[in-house]
A and B are shown apart, each in its own frame.
Chain A
Amino acid sequence: MRYSALTRRYFEAAPCAGTLEGPGILSGAAGSRSLGTWVRFDLRVAGAANRPAVIVEARFLAFGCPHTIAVAAWVAEQAAGHPVSAELPQPVDALRRSFDVPVEKLGRLLVVEDAWRAAAARK
């Protein structure tokens, strides 16, 4: 399997890998290790009254192929400063193109999206 430079960079560095603990953490997971892909996001959010909650920092865990790990890391890295939303920083199809993910692996990006949505839905 050949990987794009962006995929290699985020797979090798895996920024934001890990978990967050404490009150007010939004956590969501999707997929299954036994099926080959599992992703979890933890979001620390802050928000004043009458203002939308904003993501202060994000962490991820991922069991999966290099594309899965790279995309989950990129999503977690991009999240800080953005309002909590069910939408990923980029749509799945745009992520697929950015990371040069083979079309047969689209389902793995949908696991990343499902995990993100599960975390965002906790707000």
Chain B
Amino acid sequence: MNSPVYLDHAATTPVDPRVAAAMAGCLTADGVFGNPASSAHAHGEAAFERVEAARAAVAAAVGAEPDEVVFTSGATEADNLAIFGATAHSQPRGRHVITARTEHKAVLDPCRELERRGWQVTYLTPDGHGRVEPDRLAAALRADTVLVSLMHVNNEIGTVQDVAAFAAVCERHRGVRLHVDAAQSIGKTEFDFHACGADLVSLSAHKSYGPKGVGALLVSRRSGVRIEPRQFGGGQERGLRSGTVATHQVVGMAAAFTLVVAERPAEGVRLAALRERLWLGLEAHGGAVRNGAPEGTVPAILNVSFDGVEGESLLAAVAPRISVSTGSACTSASGDPSYVLRALGRDDRLAEASLRFGLGRSTSLDDVEAAIEAVGRALARLRRIGGACATAR
């Protein structure tokens, strides 16, 4: 039997061979393996230079300055550093934070923790396509609001938010900092740190053909945002993230970002065509509901709910043929209906019976046709076993 077609690129991507080659040059004795903080000798100096070159490359890929890049272990750590770091610094001015119900758990769980510590958090409800209206953000701002945390590209449905509009709202409300989780953005849509106006931005490498275990927090120099460190022991990364910088990881992230940003225009057009073919094929099976507006989502993500089937069975039925997920890879193990789709107004059954198709560099038209066929077979079988037609509830 053939391997399942991989259509879960929004969960993670394979490391690009060119990225792996760059990383390999920083691991063994014949490479740049030194500690970048060991400035007293040549090995350390060489590693330092690689790290700084990587920092410059990441900055160039996202429209930032090199000294605005703080390397972390990934977007989750960057989100935690942004939320706890910014609120710790700002708490004399207020203890109110605004986020949205459709954020990743890496933002929502820190916000829940802030609530346990006595902070107040407002959770904005997006519209039916997952968009947060800037007016709703403006209406939620209070005199004691110190931080807004809203994502750029939603990880489950691919909706792209107008971050610049959020930044303009925060700018009018002096003193409110804007954090943006952009873990899904790089290579999937255009992203420019300075142009978007955010104070803090979280990035991940492994969504963009880089390695797992590395990401970054962009800290705006222009805005003068200040954050408190959460990790101590060496003072690396300008004191904001202590710990030896993993040279091979940041080199991998830099190589990956450089490649995906350069390839994005052509790849975006290709993936958009594949995604629309996938949607038309799935829609033809009946009882399919597209989650997210087609014109406002990244080309790499398609999220569809299917009527008349149970979600866990649908996922199990297609798993031998295609690797997809029911939502965020970080929460799909729970078996609960997607909280993102529920926030969009889907009922529990539709929220549960949804599949997220994450298209990527390896995705071909044959893969898309195979996915359409696999889902069609699964739907027909499960609807027959369940004694329901496509629209039965």
Interface residues of A (CB under 8 A from B): 1, 3, 11, 14, 17-19, 33-34, 36-38, 40, 61-66, 69
Q: Which of A1, A14, A61, A64 contacts B310 (CB 8 A)?
A: A64
Interface window among B96-104, B121-129, B151-159, B379-387: B379-387
The residues of A that contact B312 with a CB separation of less than 8 Å are 1, 65-66
State the Cβ distance, B377 to closest chain A Cβ, in Å: 12
Within 51-94 of B, Cβ neighbours of A (below 8 Å) are at none
The residues of A that contact B195 with a CB separation of less than 8 Å are none
B29 within 8 A of A: no
Q: Which of B335, B348, B349, B385 contacts A69 (CB 8 A)?
A: B385
B199 within 8 A of A: no
State the Cβ distance, A13 to closest chain B Cβ, in Å: 11
Q: Which of A3, A14, A37, A63 contacts B387 (CB 8 A)?
A: A63
- Contacts A17-B385, A63-B387 given; does A11 touch B313 at CB 8 Å: yes
27 A–B contacts, CB within 8 A, in A order: A1-B315, A1-B316, A1-B335, A3-B316, A11-B316, A11-B317, A14-B381, A17-B384, A17-B385, A19-B387, A33-B349, A33-B392, A34-B393, A36-B310, A36-B348, A36-B349, A61-B385, A61-B386, A63-B309, A63-B310, A63-B387, A63-B388, A64-B313, A65-B312, A65-B313, A66-B312, A66-B316
State the Cβ distance, A43 to closest chain B Cβ, in Å: 16
Q: Report yes or no: A34 in contact with B387, Cβ–Cβ below 8 A.
A: no
Q: Which of B315, B316, B352 contacts A36 (CB 8 A)?
A: B352
State the Cβ distance, B327 to closest chain A Cβ, in Å: 14
State the Cβ distance, B337 to closest chain A Cβ, in Å: 9
The residues of B that contact A11 with a CB separation of less than 8 Å are 313, 316-317
Q: Report yes or no: A40 in contact with B310, Cβ–Cβ below 8 A.
A: no
- Nearest B residue (CB) for A38: B386
Contact pattern, B 199-220, Cβ under 8 Å of A = 1, otherwise 0: 0000000000000000000000
The residues of B that contact A33 with a CB separation of less than 8 Å are 349, 386, 388, 392-393
The residues of B that contact A14 with a CB separation of less than 8 Å are 381, 385
The residues of A that contact B333 with a CB separation of less than 8 Å are 1
The residues of B that contact A3 with a CB separation of less than 8 Å are 316
Q: How far is the CA of A52 from the CA of B125 in the complex (A)?
A: 61
- Contacts A33-B349, A36-B349 given; does A61 touch B313 at CB 8 Å: no
Q: How far is the CA of A34 from the CA of B350 in the complex (A)?
A: 10
State the Cβ distance, B312 to closest chain A Cβ, in Å: 4
Within 295-319 of B, Cβ neighbours of A (below 8 Å) are at 309-310, 312-313, 315-317
Q: How far is the CA of A118 from the CA of B317 in the complex (A)?
A: 29
- Nearest B residue (CB) for A72: B385
Interface residues of B (CB under 8 A from A): 309-310, 312-313, 315-317, 333, 335, 348-349, 352, 381, 384-388, 392-393
Q: Which of B349, B352, B385, B392 contacts A62 (CB 8 A)?
A: B385
- Nearest A residue (CB) for B388: A63
Contacts A18-B384, A33-B388, A65-B310 supplied; 13 other A-B pairs, CB < 8 Å: A1-B312, A1-B333, A33-B349, A33-B386, A33-B393, A34-B393, A36-B348, A38-B386, A62-B385, A63-B386, A66-B313, A69-B313, A69-B385
Q: How far is the CA of A63 from the CA of B310 in the complex (A)?
A: 6
Q: How far is the CA of A34 from the CA of B351 in the complex (A)?
A: 12
The residues of A that contact B392 with a CB separation of less than 8 Å are 33
Q: How far is the CA of A62 from the CA of B333 in the complex (A)?
A: 23
State the Cβ distance, B205 to closest chain A Cβ, in Å: 28
Q: Which residue, A14, A36, A37, has most C-beta atoms of chain B within 10 A?
A: A36
- Contacts A11-B316, A64-B313 given; does A34 touch B349 at CB 8 Å: yes
The residues of B that contact A69 with a CB separation of less than 8 Å are 313, 385
Q: Report yes or no: B387 in contact with A40, Cβ–Cβ below 8 A.
A: yes
The residues of A that contact B381 with a CB separation of less than 8 Å are 14
The residues of A that contact B317 with a CB separation of less than 8 Å are 11
The residues of A that contact B316 with a CB separation of less than 8 Å are 1, 3, 11, 66
